[in-house]
Chain A
């Protein structure tokens, strides 16, 4: 078996008696793109929240690269190289695009805290060049000076993706990266994610859009009612009768 980077081991999560996740066992291998799909309310976002430390599992643990993530602070998990891109864009609306991307670059370079009060932020040339490159790469190069809050929703999502990529994560968790994007933007994002994949970055991606899932995923886990009902390559998942059953009445596959 290939190298497992992320291992979600027997995770349960319940909110006030409601089982949001049960018996989740999931292995993500080095370099693969692992998609998690499932009908609304299946527990996909809860699973990602458990992985980045926003939620604590009721039982079980999440192991990343031999380190137990359970109980770690969000910033510690990020410093280990696990980066999440949120579904509702989490950006710094009052800051410029460049600052939005330079902050993660500096967080990666300087660690969780650095009292660098006598340096000039605008003098951090390496970080700035890196941030500008990423923004240009994502088609936001002309907007580096604008306030991030003034962007369209699609651009905000791309900015957040840029913030995630800026940290060169070892594991990138994407929560519906194309939701709310126009078709044209969706295709551009797919192309971008394919390029990242070619660089060997490990990704876990939650997505509703099956076009996106089948053009990117190496393996797929199908989540329904808080359980993984099927796991395998896209072809295997397509052929599985349980998957069709789970989606019936929900939406057409």
Chain B
């Protein structure tokens, strides 16, 4: 029995890995197979997977996860400036620093639950954002953002005799430049590893305890479980994912600005997770990809492209339609996102994953219900 379930997990994981690695091929028809966008899919996929470990499993809604994303970016850029342009140390340091920072914030915020927890995390993130702009300017370089410069120390690179020459160096993995397609593959591997760890956590006793906290936290304590360390660990793990995502942003483009920590960025990952399906494994990745795709596609439209698209219409009508549609594209693409989000929450509270389950259900409804077995007894949300 247990093997069936473990096997289906491996199938899910391998299918996921294959889908991620072949993105440059199957995204071509959608016009989304250029590296910049695919990097974003992978990076925000990591961010959303991590966020889902906290929100999807325990039900604790953090509104401050962008703070960890920002911390990850700053740490990575500092690693590029001080140590080496190799991306591995940057990634490791970012995860560690973001994890430590998440422990601090989680330790305090998790004293409360529900809306109070959300407000506390939001307050901490906004505090970090404002500090990055003001007193922490020596670390964050304020409004300009933290960037590489020719005068950076890069002690490890200097020690092995890599000279930067007269131009700014680029991030690399043992000589492979982390821009374009190699950069995407680096992020893709991070996403696949992140997905694997999230899968293991979800299926583990630890993950089940987290779901128990979401279901009935009071009952957990009367069952002899100390919910606080469980919640702190979930918070720290999701903070580490956010730190990883932040470092990947710096890997693909080595600069870090405070706007990454703004509350809108925290809100975006909430949207991604809910849109895809909170508590599911694939949902957050799908939600992240969908939002980043729409952001790129819809915001690229302008009046000229619209006029071309509706050229066939009579003149008066064309002007009207272009006017109307232009509200939803270009800078107004957030309106589209808002509508999409409202439709999802109202008609599909479980997000895209629930939609897929319903469609799947249409085809399997005729089949007799399988007898309850121990395999199905342990819920396997995918």
A residues engaging B (CB < 8 A)? 52, 54, 73-75, 78-79, 83-84, 86, 90-99, 102-104, 106-108, 110-125, 128, 132, 142-146, 163, 167
List residues of chain B with CB within 8 A of the CB of A91: 216, 219
Q: Which residue of B lies closest to A111 (CB)?
A: B224
Neighbouring B residues of A103 by C-beta, 8 Å: 208-209, 212, 220, 223, 225
Which chain A residue shows the least CB distance to B213? Answer: A92
Structural contact, A116 and B226, CB atoms closer than 8 A:
no
Determine if B205 and A116 form an interchain contact, defined as CB atoms under 8 angstroms apart. yes
In the bound complex, how far is the Cα of B204 from the Cα of A102, in angstroms? 12
Q: Are A116 and B206 in contact (CB under 8 A)?
A: yes
- Residue of A111, A113, A120, A121 with highest tally of chain B CB at under 10 A: A121
Assess whether B215 is interfacial by the CB under 8 Å rule. yes
A142 vs B369: C-alpha distance when bound (angstroms): 14
Give chain B's interface residues, CB within 8 Å of chain A: 1-2, 5-6, 200-201, 203-209, 211-212, 214-216, 218-227, 229-230, 233, 372-379
Binding site secondary structure of chain B: helix
- A113–B207 CB distance below 8 A: no
A115 to B208, CA, bound (A): 11
In contact, A116 and B204 (Cβ under 8 angstroms): yes
Q: Is the CB of B204 within 8 A of A121?
A: yes
In the bound assembly, the distance between CA atoms of A235 and B215 in angstroms comes to: 44
* Cα distance, A125 to B378, chains bound together (Å): 12
Cβ-neighbour of B374 out of A114, A119, A144 (below 8 A): A144
Closest A-B pairs by Cβ, 8 of them: A78-B224, A145-B372, A145-B377, A112-B226, A98-B377, A92-B215, A122-B378, A107-B224
CB-CB nearest in chain A for B222: A74
Residue of B nearest to A167 (CB): B224
Instruction: From the candidates B5, B216, B226, B374, name the one contacting A92 in the complex (CB within 8 A).
Output: B216
Q: Given A95, A115, A163, A167, which contacts B206 in the complex, CB threshold below 8 Å?
A: A115
B377 CB, min distance to chain A CBs, angstroms: 4
With most chain A CB atoms within 10 A of its CB, the pick from B6, B207, B226 is B226
User: When the two chains form their complex, are residues A95 and B212 in contact, meaning their CB atoms are under 8 A apart?
Assistant: yes
